[in-house]
Structure 1
Amino acid sequence: MCNLYRMRSNAAEIARIFEADNLAGNVPDLAEIYPNQTAPVVRTTDGGRIIESFLWGFPPPGQIKRSVTNVRNLKSPFWLSALKRPDRRCLVPVTAFCEWTGAAGSKQKVWFDIPEEPLFAFAGIWRPVDGEASRFAFLTCEPNEIVGAIHPKAMPVLLTKEDASVWLTSTWENAEALVRPFASERMRTDTLSLF
């Protein structure tokens, strides 16, 4: 599961790429974003797309204590209630994401990005929380070849700026078509954290 990513761009670039108004203020260089940290998201309102800062991790269902960061079971009624609502889908801006390799105690970070798309997004969903910051999680799918070599269980659903409108405005039937492994040949990997 992807529980570490980075967003090293800025609010102006997020606004430009995803055609959104910035309500988040200054977006600092976020070299490592972990669950339960605040990060920018892009969502739609009646007035268009906006950038806001939300907390990463959906409030868990039932008696589960830990927040849920990744969405995998797209048939679950818990997730479908948000997935079927375009106003509850969001883009999570990303410049690279991490999976871990190696044995416990000697794990190493392996970073992935898209060279031709220095700023891309995870396909996300969000929800308001009474008296707290709104929360988000993002979808995962089967891994492609490059990610699967490190983490064979799943990878985040990656969206380019061309995918944004479909994810944010379409019916679930159309948006669900974006839930697929991203093309390996468009990605690169790095263990030295250069990007």
Structure 2
Amino acid sequence: MLRALYDMTLRWSASRHADKALAVVSFTESSVFPIPADVLFLPMCLARPDRAMRYALIATVASVLGGIFGWAIGVWAFDALARPLLEFYGKEAAFEALRGETGSLAILVMLVTSGLTHIPPMKVVTILSGVVAFDLKLFILSAIVARGGRFFLLAVLLRRYGLRITAFLETRLNWIALGVTALAVLAFIAFEVLR
């Protein structure tokens, strides 16, 4: 089933409705859809480098809005909507493990790493953030920074280097994102200590 979804998502990247499809996939990826928006975003940017920044904006805005939807599911509809989805994707155990490690700093770190690297999956973190009533303003800010950072960085690199950068990104992007996350955590700790 996931392979069929993946193939369908990839076909959307070549359609005349690619912008809308990117918005829908970016929105739903942050709350319920198992396929990352990159499946659409990367081929779209490679095919039309002149529109890469536009695609990054669409993906960022839709992803943040989808994250807010996931947060709302966690706050108001966890048992009715989220639990069955987590069971369907086989993520309930991962969710419960994450739930046990929650605190503001842990949620913030998960939001940043999830937004940058998809580890842990974005939908799990957005729902978890709602379940533990993580501050919505900080949630939105971290989603904008992480998701926007990811999409705009990819857009710039793809626009400048095209296909040559894709192999580099596939092998090293997670390490780069983890380094950025470590810096964000240190900045957050420094802010808390100095406050």
Per the normalisation by structure 1, the TM-score is: 0.29
By relative contact order (CA 8 Å, sep 6+), the higher-ranking structure is: 2
Larger Rg: 2
Normalized per residue, the structure richer in helix is 2
TM superposition score normalised by structure 2: 0.29
More strand by share: 1
